[in-house]
Structure 1
Amino acid sequence: MEIILSNVDGTPIYEQIARQIKAKIVSGELREGDALPSMRLLAKELRISVITTKRAYEELEREGFIISQTGRGSFVAPVGTELLREEQLRRVEEHLTEAVRAARLGGLSGEEFLDIASTLFEEEL
């Protein structure tokens, strides 16, 4: 499984791992029942501590994205449409927050920002 870690990103490594695995689940790259690499194997591949991968998997399990079974490993959980929608909404909010910051830095009014957003939303991307 390809996971890219950044030392310059202020986000803790376990959060980077969890975020990338969630993105793979939400996008459909990882599907219900797919096995994840063992914590030890992922730690070895990423050259990090097993404790870090354990923390990432625990977060993913707590949020309902994976199921861990003692002796068997960790698997993508059946993810309901509500959970996927919430994750997608959260991602949109993050991007919009950045867009609002950029608009304010650029001196745009709220109306100008909404006009741009509306135009982009109606376009086929």
Structure 2
Amino acid sequence: MKIILKNVSDQPLYQQIKTQIKSAILRGELKEGEQLPSIRSLANDLQVSVLTTKRVYDELEKEGFVVTKAGKGSFVAPENLEMLLESKRLMVEKKLSEVWQMSRDLGISKQELHSMMEILFEKEGDEK
């Protein structure tokens, strides 16, 4: 599992780690039942506090992405298709909200934004 941290990011380190692990699970790079690095090992590899990695694993567990077995470690949780789909939608909604806010700040109208999206879809050949 490859995690890249950016010190100049607006996101706190724990959020960067959590987002990247979550994305790896959603993309299927981390499979159901696969063991994650130990909290200490991940902290050491990323050169962050053990408390930071513990917080990441705790939050991922609360969100249903990870299960922790005492004395054995943390593992990718069994797939919950509905949860995965909702999480993917939420990620897209957040990005779209950012794009919409940027568009308004730049004076780009809703119609112009729609046109841009249509052009992107046509380029990708992904009209649905």
Q: TM over 0.5: same fold?
A: yes
Instruction: Specify every segment of 5 or more residues in structure 1 that has no aligned partner in the other structure, as ranges.
Output: none
Report Cα offsets for 1:3-55 as digits up to 9, x if no partner: 11111112121111111000000000001000000001001111111111000
SS at match of 1:91: helix
| Structure 1 equivalent of residue 53 of structure 2 | 53
Partner letter of residue 43 of structure 1?
A
Whether the aligned pair in 2 keeps the contact of 1:42 and 1:53 (CA below 8 Å) is yes
Alpha-carbon deviation of 1:107? 2.1
Alpha-carbon deviation of 1:111? 1.6
| Structure 1 equivalent of residue 75 of structure 2 | 75
SS at match of 2:114: helix
| Structure 2 equivalent of residue 115 of structure 1 | 115
Aligned positions of 1:1-125 closer than 5 A: 1-122=1-122, 123-124=124-125
- Counterparts of 2:79 and 2:36, CA distance in 1: 15
| RMSD, aligned α-carbons | 1.5
- Counterparts of 2:106 and 2:13, CA distance in 1: 33
TM-score (norm 1): 0.91
Alpha-carbon deviation of 1:73? 0.4
SS at match of 1:9: coil
TM-score (norm 2): 0.89
